[in-house]
A and B are shown apart, each in its own frame.
Chain A
Amino acid sequence: MPRISVTVDGIRYDEEVEPRLLLVHLLRDRLGKTGTPIGCDTSNCGACTVLLDGRSAKSCSILAVQADGCDIVTIEGLSTDGTWHPMQRAFHEEHALQCGYCTPGMILAAIDLLHDDPDPSEETIREGLEGNLCRCTGYCTIVRAVRRGAREMSRDQEGAATS
C-alpha cells in the first residue's frame, strides 16, 4: 500500500492508504477529524470542503494519495489557543447556520474567496460560495457573515501591521 505523509491542522501524519481511499475518509475515519462532513455523493454540495495547500477543495473528490505532501486545514484547525477564527465568530454572530451541516465547508470556502478579494461585494460572495449548498438558511445570513468576517480579518491584519 502507498505510504503518504500529510499535515492536517498543523500535525503531521504518516499513513498507509489504499489508493481508493478518499481524502474525506482519511480525515474522518483515520484521523478522527469528524468536523468535516460528507453531504452528497456527487461532488456538488461542498460540505466536505477543506483548504488544500491554502485553497478550497472538495475532500470527497480527492484521493488521499493525491494529497501526499500537502498541508490541509479543516474546520477543526481554524481556532488558535481556544480563540475562534474571525470567520467562525462572524457566522456565530450573524446566525449564519441552522442545522450546521454546511457550515464547515461554508466557512472554509469563505476564507478561500478572501484570497482573491479581501473586500468582497455581495455578488462576489454569492459567486464565491456557489459550490456550497445550504438547505436551511436561505443564504442571506451567510452572505452577511462573510462580509463581517472579511471586515474583521482585514482589521486584524491592519492591527497586526501597526502594532
Chain B
Amino acid sequence: MIPASFDYVRASSLDEALATLREHGEEAKVLAGGQSLLPLLRLRLAYPGTLVDLGRVEELRGVADRGDHVLIGAMTTHYEVVTSPVVREHCPLVALATATVADPAVRHRGTFGGSLAHADPAGDLPAVARALDMEFVARSPEGERVIPAADFFLDYLETALDPGEILTGVRVPKLGPGWGFHYEKFHRTAQAWAIVGVAAAVRRSGGAVEEARVALTNMGPVPVRAIGVEQAVRGADPGANGALRAAAERADEDTDPPSDLHARPDYRRHLARVLTRRALLAAAGAA
C-alpha cells in the first residue's frame, strides 16, 4: 500500500532535528533507516504528521573506541556494525547478533539505534543490550541524559525516550578478557524474526564458569535477563555432563512469553530452555 501523506524534513544536524521535533510536537516522528517504520507506514499502522529524517546527520554515525566502552552512533547501519573491527574485537556479541538481523539489503539501511528505539520484543539487539548492560545516550533541547538498558525498555514498542528526544548513541561496556559469547536465535525461515532468541556471555576461570550474563528475546513485551540461570550456572563445569543443562532449565522463570501465529507460550518456554543451554555451551566454548 501507499503510505498516508506526511510532511518531510531532512535534518542536516542533530540540533536541527531536535528543533524540528519540538516545533511539530507529538505529530512528528524520527526516520532512521526506515526498515521498520516504512513497512508500518505502508500498512497504515502509523500516521505521523511529519517525518524528521536523520539519514544525513553524520554526527550520529560511526563506531568509536572510548577506552572502557565502545560508542556506537545511533545511525550506524547494521552492516557497518557487523563489519566494524572495533565492534568485532571489543563487542563480539553485538556483531554476532546483528549478523542475524533480517537480510543484507535490510542491514544496509537499518540502524543500530533504530532497532533499539523501535523496541520490538522480537528484535535481536534489545536482549544483547540487556546482557551487556549497555547505556543509552539521549538528547533533547534541554540536554543529554544516559539511560541504563535495564530502564530503557518499558513495554511492547515502548521505550524510556520522550517524544522530543533522540537517541544519539549507545555505550557498550567492554567486558575484558576471558569472556566468550553467543547469540542463539530460533526462526523458521532465513530472514525471519526470532521466535525466541538467547544472548549469552560467559566468563570462565580455570575450568568453571565464574560469571554469566543471559538475556532473552521475545519471552515477554521487553527483553529480560535470566537471573535464575545466571545464578545457577556460577561455578558450574561446562565439561561436566548436564551442569549447564540444569542451569538452563531455569531460563523461562519470571517470563511472560506471547502467544502468536508462530508459537504458543509453552512452546516458547521450552525453546528458551533449549536455546539457553546451547547458548551457554557455545559461549563457554564447550559446544
Measured between beta carbons, the chain B residues less than 8 angstroms from A65 are 8, 10, 53
Chain A: CB-nearest residue to B106: A131
**Are B191 and A131 in contact (CB-based, < 8 A)?**
yes
**Are B3 and A49 in contact (CB-based, < 8 A)?**
no
Q: A61-B35, A61-B38, A65-B53 are in contact. Are A130 and B103 (CB under 8 A)?
A: yes
Q: A20-B41, A62-B38, A66-B55 are in contact. Are A57 and B8 (CB under 8 A)?
A: no
Residues in B31-72 with C-beta less than 8 Å from chain A: 31, 34-35, 38-39, 41-43, 51, 53, 55
Q: How many residues of A contact B (CB 8 A)?
A: 33
**Are B5 and A57 in contact (CB-based, < 8 A)?**
no
Measured between beta carbons, the chain A residues less than 8 angstroms from B105 are 46, 49, 56-58, 109, 112, 131
Measured between beta carbons, the chain B residues less than 8 angstroms from A112 are 104-105
Residue with the greatest number of chain A CB neighbours at <10 A, chosen from B5, B41, B42, B103 = B103
B240 at the interface (CB under 8 A from A): no
Measured between beta carbons, the chain B residues less than 8 angstroms from A109 are 104-105
Chain A: CB-nearest residue to B82: A116
A163 at the interface (CB under 8 A from B): no
A89 at the interface (CB under 8 A from B): no
How many Å lie between the Cα of A2 and that of B53 in the bound state? 13
**Are B103 and A25 in contact (CB-based, < 8 A)?**
no
**Are B191 and A20 in contact (CB-based, < 8 A)?**
no
**Are A43 and B38 in contact (CB-based, < 8 A)?**
yes
**Are A63 and B104 in contact (CB-based, < 8 A)?**
no
**Are A130 and B34 in contact (CB-based, < 8 A)?**
no
Shortest Cβ distance from residue B182 to the other chain A in the assembled complex, whole angstroms: 18
How many Å lie between the Cα of A112 and that of B39 in the bound state? 23
A93 at the interface (CB under 8 A from B): no
Residues in B1-40 with C-beta less than 8 Å from chain A: 1-8, 10, 31, 34-35, 38-39
Shortest Cβ distance from residue A137 to the other chain B in the assembled complex, whole angstroms: 16
Shortest Cβ distance from residue A28 to the other chain B in the assembled complex, whole angstroms: 13
Measured between beta carbons, the chain B residues less than 8 angstroms from A19 are 5-8, 51
A158 at the interface (CB under 8 A from B): no
**Are B39 and A43 in contact (CB-based, < 8 A)?**
yes
A6 at the interface (CB under 8 A from B): no
**Are B109 and A41 in contact (CB-based, < 8 A)?**
no
Residues in A88-127 with C-beta less than 8 Å from chain B: 109, 112-113, 126-127
* Size category of the binding interface on chain B: 20 to 34
Interface residues as binary, A44-76 with B (CB distance below 8 Å gives 1, 0 otherwise): 101001001001111011110110100000000
Interface of A is mostly: mixed
Q: A62-B109, A130-B103 are in contact. Are A41 and B43 (CB under 8 A)?
A: yes
**Are A113 and B8 in contact (CB-based, < 8 A)?**
no
How many Å lie between the Cα of A52 and that of B108 in the bound state? 10
B102 at the interface (CB under 8 A from A): yes
A153 at the interface (CB under 8 A from B): no
Q: A19-B51, A65-B8 are in contact. Are A57 and B43 (CB under 8 A)?
A: no
Measured between beta carbons, the chain B residues less than 8 angstroms from A61 are 34-35, 38-39, 106, 109
**Are B5 and A18 in contact (CB-based, < 8 A)?**
yes
Residue with the greatest number of chain A CB neighbours at <10 A, chosen from B3, B102, B105 = B105
Chain A: CB-nearest residue to B103: A131
Q: A20-B41, A109-B104 are in contact. List 14 more A-B contacts (CB 8 A).
A: A22-B42, A41-B1, A46-B103, A49-B105, A57-B105, A61-B109, A62-B38, A62-B109, A63-B8, A109-B105, A127-B190, A131-B102, A131-B104, A132-B103
A-B contact pairs, 15 of them (CB 8 A): A2-B8, A19-B5, A19-B8, A22-B38, A41-B42, A52-B108, A55-B108, A60-B42, A61-B34, A61-B35, A61-B38, A61-B39, A66-B53, A66-B55, A109-B104
Closest 7 CB pairs of A and B: A131-B103, A19-B8, A130-B190, A56-B105, A20-B3, A61-B38, A130-B103
Give the B-binding residues of A (Cβ under 8 A).
Answer: 2, 18-20, 22, 25, 41-44, 46, 49, 52, 55-58, 60-63, 65-66, 68, 109, 112-113, 126-128, 130-132
Give the A-binding residues of B (Cβ under 8 A).
Answer: 1-8, 10, 31, 34-35, 38-39, 41-43, 51, 53, 55, 79, 102-106, 108-109, 190-191
